[in-house]
Amino acid sequence: MRLEAITWDRLADQLADRLLALEPADGSVWPRVAVDGAPAARPGELAERVAEALRVRGRPSLVVDTEGFLRPASLRLEHGRRDVESYYGGWFDTSALWREVFTPLDPGGDGRVLPDLWDPVADRATRSSYVQLPPGGVLLLHGPFLLRHWFPFDLTVHLLLSPGALRRHTPESGHWTLPAFERYTSETDPAGTADVLVRADDPRHPAWTG
């Protein structure tokens, strides 16, 4: 696989330009983009950069973090605080993401998206207001394991970390999650299935497939 060195700012500009011409295949008027990656790869930072690049091009967008759709601690931690199976398959409320984020952006939807649902620190509902995403506005959803849920993305970006880099950039307190990412790689092959692959082993020098 051939990768080309790039800066984060240039990468955001290139992705924003690509999104300006992107038309959803299902007839929706809202392009839906995944910025997929482990927390150590900082997918939220790239999503925010792309949102800013879209803003200066006159295109609205909405950045949504899957951390805002964690399930309550009573469900998330039912099998313990370091249960890999739960982290991989049960921490994120995918039903709420479908209901509050994707369904409003379906063809014929009303574009009213809930940007977050649950505060994991306070362990209570955020009570955030709905955001009206105008036609043409881009959804930028970021977080881990996004490509295993059949979400209707129109463009998928995967931030790739080698196993060694993932371990180095993950705080020691989070090393228990590493087997979940090994399983994700084995079962989903995000590097092989994403539309855009970004290698982020060295956060100062990313490279991408173009």
pLDDT tens digit string along 136-172?
A: 999 999 999 999 999 999 999 999 999 999 999 999 9
Could you report the per-residue pLDDT of 19-48, keeping only the tens digit for each? Answer: 999 999 999 999 999 999 999 999 999 999
pLDDT reported for residue 93: 95
pLDDT reported for residue 174: 95
Mean pLDDT of the chain: 95
pLDDT reported for residue 1: 72
Place of tokens 């994707």: 102
d(CA 91, CA 47): 21
Could you report the per-residue pLDDT of 56-74, keeping only the tens digit for each? Answer: 999 999 999 999 999 998 8
pLDDT reported for residue 77: 83
Q: What is the pTM of this model?
A: 0.95
pLDDT reported for residue 38: 98
pLDDT reported for residue 12: 98
